[in-house]
Amino acid sequence: MSLRARLTAVIAVIVVVATVAVAFAAFGTTRRQLYAGLDRSLAQVARVAESGEGRGMRGIPGLPPLLRVGDQVVAQVVDADEVVQLLTGPAEVSVPSRVLAEARAGAAVTFSTQVAGEPYRALARPVTGDAVLVVAADVSEQVRVLRALLARIWVIGALVAGLAATVGWFAAGALVGPLRRLTAAAEHVSRTGDLDVGVRTDAPDEAGRLSRAFDDMLVALRASQAQQQQLVDDAGHELRTPIASIRSNAEVLRRHPDLDLATREQIADDVISESAELTTLVNALVDLAGVSGATEPPTEVDLADLVRAAARRLPSPDRGRVQVTGTAVAVLRAAQVHRAVTNLLGNAAKFDPSGAPIEVRVGRSGTAVEVEVRDHGPGIATDDLPHVFARFYRAQAARATPGSGLGLAIVADVATRNGGSVAAANHPDGGAVLRLTLPATAVPPDPG
């Protein structure tokens, strides 16, 4: 059964149950009020009959207005020996033993019975001795009225059920319409892999929120897909150069087995150098993929301690150059931030080989924390400043140095996925300043 059908059934059942409950409550109230009035009239008849008892009357004078002379009324006395004396009416009324016992105990008891196959309402009350006076009235008309009312209740219930089902069908259709569109979009994406599907609506309800969340997810997936494709294209371009060089040198060695020792050693050095560059590039790609796929939970860390731990991963000559000032405690994804800070320190050491200090400032500004790394190298060319965190970007001055062009891209990726930012500038006194800013409390990772 579809969701629309289930919603329709639920709406119809709720409306029908409520309608039937109200209808039967009204039926019960009508029946009680009808019989209550009849019971009061029977009590009056009983008093009249009791006053006329002993005169051998065939009829009962002074009947109440509710029980006209033409009504079928029975009045009888049941003595202690269960002998019935019929005062008026077409036939005797059968009185249950329970009713006689309650009446002889002093109670006035009303009950329903039949006389000659017709429905009667009766009242029994005590008289002299253990005798019981019983008066009963034909209630055929009242029963017909109640049955007609009950029939109308069933008819109205059926009409309400049909109306509720019709209204529920269209209401459920309006409710599940956005879900059908989302389902169709998801099936289209699953079948074709095409993420260019728009399902956004401006409805303020949960279905509208779901459609907007689904559309945002598709936008993020498209952006992620585009970034992955760009990464593959860039990685392929960067990998071709060392691979082509290694292949070219191998072919030279194969075609010229009689090369002199010096030339062979030069070719071997080139192969080793290109292999090292290839290894560096592959490791950087692995690091970048690790950041992209990380699901690390946030933990509380001291950023100054984290920077010192990252400095210990630098080559031995550079470890002592790192000088850390300030402190800041934050809730971060420590492994990701550690990788980013390690790359910042490695970048500073690479572009300032003079041995000058690498100054690291750690601090907090409002709801954010910062790690600022300054070297004392030549700085960054003005044209290169906007691009230093781009993937595979190599500044003109850096092309002669080893590297993959992904170190600072990993820093930017960590910042983006943790809701932070990066910035690059030149210090007025020389050297480059790279800054990593992150929320002091980790935000959910960006799915893009």
pLDDT class of 357 with cuts at 50, 70, 90: very high
pLDDT for 58 equals 39
Question: Quick check: 195 pLDDT over 80?
Answer: no
How far are the Cα atoms of 25, 157, 160, 174, 337 from residue 164, in angstroms, in the given order? 20, 10, 6, 15, 59
Give per-residue pLDDT as tens, 343-355.
899 889 888 888 8
Q: Taking a C-beta distance cutoff of 8 angstroms, is the pair 164, 15 a contact?
A: yes
Task: Give residue 39's Cα distance to chain centre.
Answer: 59
Task: Retrieve residue 366's tokens.
Answer: 């409002």
Q: Taking a C-beta distance cutoff of 8 angstroms, is the pair 374, 362 a contact?
A: no
How far are the Cα atoms of 7, 35, 37, 40, 42 from residue 65, in angstroms, in the given order? 54, 16, 12, 12, 11
Tell me what the mean pLDDT of segment 182-199 comes to. Answer: 75
pLDDT for 447 equals 44
Tell me what the mean pLDDT of segment 101-120 comes to. Answer: 86
Question: Quick check: 415 pLDDT over 70?
Answer: yes
pLDDT for 53 equals 44
pLDDT class of 3 with cuts at 50, 70, 90: low
Task: Retrieve residue 378's tokens.
Answer: 């030549």
Give per-residue pLDDT as tens, 365-408.
889 999 999 999 888 888 888 888 887 666 655 555 555 567 78
pLDDT for 192 equals 76
Q: Taking a C-beta distance cutoff of 8 angstroms, is the pair 433, 372 a contact?
A: yes
pLDDT for 345 equals 92
pLDDT for 253 equals 82
Give per-residue pLDDT as tens, 436-445.
999 988 765 5
CATH architecture of 3-145: 2-Layer Sandwich (3.30)
| CATH of the domain spanning 195-293, picked from 1.10.580.10, 1.10.287.130, 2.40.30.10, 1.20.120.1730 | 1.10.287.130
pLDDT for 397 equals 54
Q: ∠ CA 264-267-269 to the nearest 5 degrees?
A: 110
114 CB neighbour count, 10 Å cutoff: 11
Of the listed ranges 32-36, 65-69, 238-242, 251-255, the one predicted with least confidence = 65-69
**What span, in angstroms and rounded, lies between the C-alpha atoms of 114 and 95?**
10
Question: Quick check: 223 pLDDT over 60?
Answer: yes
Give per-residue pLDDT as tens, 50-81.
665 434 433 444 444 444 434 578 888 888 88
Tell me what the mean pLDDT of segment 156-166 comes to. Answer: 82
Residues in contact with 417: Cβ distance below 8 Å, sequence separation at least 6, in sequence order: 291, 292, 294, 336, 445, 446
Q: Say if pTM beats, i.e. exceeds, 0.75.
A: no
Tell me what the mean pLDDT of segment 204-220 comes to. Answer: 75
**What span, in angstroms and rounded, lies between the C-alpha atoms of 197 and 116?**
79
HSE at residue 329, side-chain half, CA atoms within 13 A, is: 1
Of the listed ranges 58-67, 310-319, 352-361, the one predicted with least confidence = 58-67
Give per-residue pLDDT as tens, 285-310.
666 665 554 567 889 999 999 999 99
pLDDT for 214 equals 76
Burial code (b: 16+ CB inside 10 Å, e: under 16) for 203-240 equals eeeebeebbeebbeebeeeeeeeeeeeebeebbeebee
Query: What percentage of residues in the chain have a pLDDT greater than 90?
Result: 13
Find the helix or strand (DSSP H, E) in which 137 lies. Answer: strand 132-138
Question: Quick check: 123 pLDDT over 50?
Answer: yes
pLDDT for 1 equals 63
pLDDT class of 235 with cuts at 50, 70, 90: low
Q: ∠ CA 326-327-331 to the nearest 5 degrees?
A: 150
Q: Where are the domains of the chain?
A: 3-145, 195-293, 294-439
Which residue has tokens 């019981």? 132
Same CATH fold assignment for domains 195-293 and 294-439: no
Strand order in the sheet with 368-374: 322-325, 358-365, 368-374, 432-439, 421-426
Question: Quick check: 423 pLDDT over 90?
Answer: yes
Average predicted confidence (pLDDT) for the chain = 79
Could you confirm whether domain 294-439 is CATH 3.30.70.100? no
pLDDT for 237 equals 58
**What span, in angstroms and rounded, lies between the C-alpha atoms of 76 and 85?**
5
| pLDDT top residue among 222 and 205 | 222
pLDDT class of 425 with cuts at 50, 70, 90: very high
